[in-house]
Structure 1
């Protein structure tokens, strides 16, 4: 295993025995040799405190972790890395995200053990307490700042720019805001159509992205445009307050409140009921843009007979950022059943698993037995580490013992991997293949709500596209299916 060693000595500790740079390097090199590890890089912060993470070589090490140069960070003692609970929690999370282990040469500190997990739990609790206290102090400061009429949020709303702690009008953006209000007041356009118009004209929101229904709604309902700042209107709503006359108004107040009345009169709730006729609701994604596809029902009358059809459309199409055509549900059903048929035919593992007999109890017993042996092996290693750290065991003896245990561990892990792989993969494929087989055989006999329930139980995501304008099932292409 490739490792990096991190060494830190503060000014006060320079003369203390066992803490000198030379002493730490010597002990860490010996420990790495005993484990059969390769030291690829050494980081030394000389004369720097561990009160925070603003240390030269620590920052270099964090950047190298992102590059994947080594697999583990080794320190002489935990306090060499940090003395801050919050910094420790941050670093351990960072290590885990990048697949890097952490080890202390003189302390039992291993997140793969029960003791290590207990320690991490305590660290997390303390870190949360520290963060919450810090958060309360920050919120109090921001609340006071907002009450003084200062802008306490990073990004100002469209129509304004930051001028120190206050806002000033951005005339170019203010004209867009006025256009949005005036267009809505005509009564001819809803928020979705206005978003589409803004995108068509090449306008962008303050964040530089396309306009959406939600961003238009934000503009039309934000009191900042009549000079009143809202604070805590999304989070901490119990502490919501408003501060008037903090900035020059862009929209006259009578026009603003006229818009609010129009929004109120137009608002009609359309809850997505469980009884909706759209089978693939909630799992369908557009293969072109990745957007969510919603269901829609349409009807037509021909020769006094009413025809009802169900289809899906990409949500981003409504605001002009996707050109995906609508997809008929009946065509999608046909292609979905074809995809399942191909999956079950090609998945030899699943087909074999269905016909095989899998003894769950026997596999579980074998897994438990090997896991216990691995636990005992780790306990022996901990004892030897303590003995070595207290000079009760030589470097040579530690190397010999570790080599023997490494061989034993490899043998046990190989056995465990084979058993788990056979048990878990086959067991999962049995259940999935049985479900899909039943689905194939019974799909046409199921009611719409039964089909919908089945999809929600086994499918996580379906990405679909329409490649032809012809009204045929082959015009619909399922590009991928993810099962739960």
Structure 2
């Protein structure tokens, strides 16, 4: 770097300070003040060389040196580019950056604008090659130290989780963080715990995420509201599908803590019954969340996963093409896609036509008496399962009420009542009241389910009017109906026909379909 400055010039010096954590920043004289005082003293010692300390302060309190996303640093770079600075002074090299790559980029910016860089405690001059070499060596050690600290923090968190301790992070609905002891602990927030149990019960009752999201909006139940150590409010946002799914799958509610793929017994009190939690996980798994490795059916391919090519016994994959702002859907043999056109004689099939042919055949089979009896039995089984779910919820809620009444009696008989006990009694009374209300609602629902019945003639009527029933279903529901009825659909290119195998001993159907012209 060829300096344009000489000893008679005024050298405008900017002081940059940084501290990784926010701890102690609100004190009268903090670490940033100490760094600046040392830098000001060094600049004053160079007064004879024309060094002048600029009044602007470039401070970053509570920001890591591992990246450049820091407001103070951004203002410093902006002023450098505006030619307001001649020299940057820091207390120590790693105050500017702990990343060798980021620091190298900043040094390039300094060189482009003829900026000198000085560290108060590691004196060297970046105008010389030896100074730049020394700087890179020091920075390499600073980056190594940062990586070692990161490894130690990760190891500490893993050890805390293995012991079942709260290792920090965003507070969750149902718990507060008690920092009065040596290490932070989770304590139950009684009023929020009621809401958590209500959310679990709602999911078991409604069966899917979106209806629960809508119900929580109606009930005006938001997510956890909390404050940072500096008093800044956080959270309190309405539930969406992702937030709700995170709550329903969090093992913390059954007294466990998770670290990566491992789950350990926690030292905090559970607020959700283990049976309810297990029922929710089963329902989530069965409710169509896409398994790992499986592609979402976002184009509503009705018979995807059911249609196979008879010639090579390969699945026929759903695909599409866009022409003149219009989308055309097809089913194409996977063997043909992998190995080329000569590998299989089965042509691409127009998706709409073959899906319609399958639905038409199901409509004809729907008149079969055996199928009607089977649909009736399945519908009856689903109704019975729904009744069992309500009965389980009533039993779980009754157990919780019994526990709460026993705890309330124990606290009421305490010989030395305190404010903490009074708070617990108030929370228990509120929870008992809300759980009684929920129990009455479930009992009414159970009565309605008992009185509700499904008759064979209702099933027959619905299947006889299959077209109207089918058109009333959403695409995803139509796919589920097909998955319940059909085990395999096979296309034979030799005679342009489809063969449908039904589940549970349903008759096999062969459907000639000359309208399925190759694409």
TM tier relative to shorter chain: 0.3 to 0.5
**Greater relative contact order (Cα 8 A, min sep 6): structure 1 or 2?**
1
Q: What TM-score do you get using the length of structure 2 for normalisation? A: 0.37
Q: TM-score, normalised by structure 1?
A: 0.39
Larger radius of gyration: 2
